[in-house]
Amino acid sequence: MQEILKMLRKTSLQNLSELSKKLNLLYYEYDQHQNKFIVDSRYNKETTYNELIKLTYELSKHKIGFFTDERSNIVIASKCHLLSPLKQRLKNISYNFKGYRKNIYVLSDKQVNFAKNLPLIQTQVIEQDIDLTPYDALIFTSKNGVKYSDILLPSEWKKIPSYAISKQTAKQIKDLKGKVAFVGKEQHGDEFAFELLEHLAGKKVAYLGAQKIVSNMIDILKEHNIDCDYIPVYQTVCREYENKIKLPSDSIIIFSSPSTIECFFKKVSWDNSFTAISIGRTTAKYFPNDVKPIIADSTSLESCVCKALSL
């Protein structure tokens, strides 16, 4: 009986993950470990309201029980609806307690709940003159690509439809008043390239990103006759520290790019008690052979921390 219940729960979680992808949500992200749709707390209710309505409508249509907690997260309810809010609060207390006990490190200065910051990388703009007038579409695979494009081309890039690899990148485009034409569902470089093929056919495209590319996206697009130019707008460098950094045993370290892997192993000696979490499959390829990372459910630091808390 327990095995059957586990199988049913797994099927339910997969269905909710698929529903999240189908709705193309930007501001809500499904966390299967907590079994709820978590709203991006950086945005006000006016910004997230339309997605709240869309999501609750779909859940009701599929007869999936839910309630909204005090933070406007949408919690999937158990069969005992009256007890669900109380159970969820108790679960949140347990979850928070677990978060505060763990040593989870993000290797940048971005603040993520339950994680400590160990800034090992920094990004720098690549100063240059860029002419975007020949292009019909822009590709962005990171928030930094958007950020530094806005520094170099404060108005020009906003006139051209942008194709974002992930929700986090799409939100950055919208925050800076750009035009989001498409948001990838797979959230990984090579898969994103295949998603773009039908959307970019016949267009002249510029990919604005980091100095170092870790995917085969450009090659895939060109192999399928997409006219795409790569324009690096920023570079990532290691921060300088005089001494080696010592982390506590059983630390969980989140790696969000190959650059974070490179800089981490320059400054920190790996301990077998450590756990590595990779933001995606591409980044995971760059670890030393003796380090086996766990891959997050989606390509955001928040998802990486959720994965860390589930361990």
Predicted pLDDT at 92: 58
| Sign of the Cα pseudo-torsion (233, 235, 236, 238, in order) | negative
**CA 35 – CA 97 distance, rounded (Å):** 18
Global model pTM greater than 0.95: no
Q: What is residue 124's predicted lDDT score, i.e. its pLDDT?
A: 95
Q: What is the pLDDT of residue 298?
A: 82
Residue 5 has pLDDT above 80, yes or no: no
Q: Does residue 82 carry a pLDDT above 70?
A: no
Stretch 128-149: mean pLDDT: 96
Given this model, what pLDDT does residue 83 score?
A: 46
Please compute the mean of the pLDDT values over residues 229-255 and round it to a whole number: 93
Centre a 10 Å sphere on the Cβ of residue 30 and count the other Cβ atoms it contains. 24
Confidence of residue 69 (pLDDT cuts 50, 70, 90): confident
- Checking if the pLDDT of 257 tops 80, the result is yes
Model confidence at 36, pLDDT cuts 50, 70, 90, reads confident
Taking CB atoms within 8 Å and a gap of at least 24, the contacts of 280-283 are: 280/187, 280/188, 281/188, 282/188, 282/189, 282/190, 282/214, 282/215, 282/258, 283/214, 283/255, 283/256, 283/257, 283/258
Q: What is the predicted pLDDT for the residue at 8?
A: 37
Q: What whole-number distance in Å separates Cα of residue 208 and Cα of residue 217?
A: 12
**Span 287-297, mean pLDDT?**
94
- Is pLDDT at 255 greater than 60 in this prediction? yes
Question: Which whole number is the average pLDDT over 229-244?
Answer: 92
pLDDT tens-digit profile of 48-66? Answer: 999 999 999 998 888 888 8
Mean pLDDT of 127-138: 96
Q: What percent of the chain has pLDDT over 90?
A: 57
196-205: pLDDT as tens digits: 999 999 999 9
Q: Of 156-170, 177-191, 210-224, where does the model show the most confidence? A: 156-170
Q: Please write the tens of the pLDDT for every residue from 206-218.
A: 999 999 887 889 9
What pLDDT was estimated at residue 6? 42
Residue 14 has a pLDDT of 63
Task: Print the SS3 string covering the chain.
Answer: CHHHHHHHHHHHHHHHHHHHHHCCCCCEEEECCCCEEEECCCCCHHHHHHHHHHHHHHHHHCCCCEEECCCCCEEECCCCCCCHHHHHHHHHHHHHHHHHHCCEEECCCCCCCCCEECCCEEEEECCCCCCCCCCCEEEECCHHHHHHHHHHCCCCHHHCEEEECCHHHHHHHHHCCCEEEEECCCCCHHHHHHHHHHHHCCCEEEEEEECCCCCCHHHHHHHCCCEEEEEEEEEEEECCCCCCECCCCCCEEEECCHHHHHHHHHHECCCCCCEEEECCHHHHCCCCCCCCCEECCCCCHHHHHHHHHHC
Buried b (16+ CB within 10 A) or exposed e, 122-137: ebeeeeeeeebeebeb
Q: Which of 16-25, 45-54, 291-300 has the lowest mean pLDDT?
A: 16-25
Res 250: pLDDT: 94
Mean pLDDT across the chain, nearest whole number?
Answer: 86
Q: What's the confidence (pLDDT) of residue 80?
A: 44
User: How does residue 71 score in pLDDT terms, banded at 50, 70 and 90?
Assistant: confident
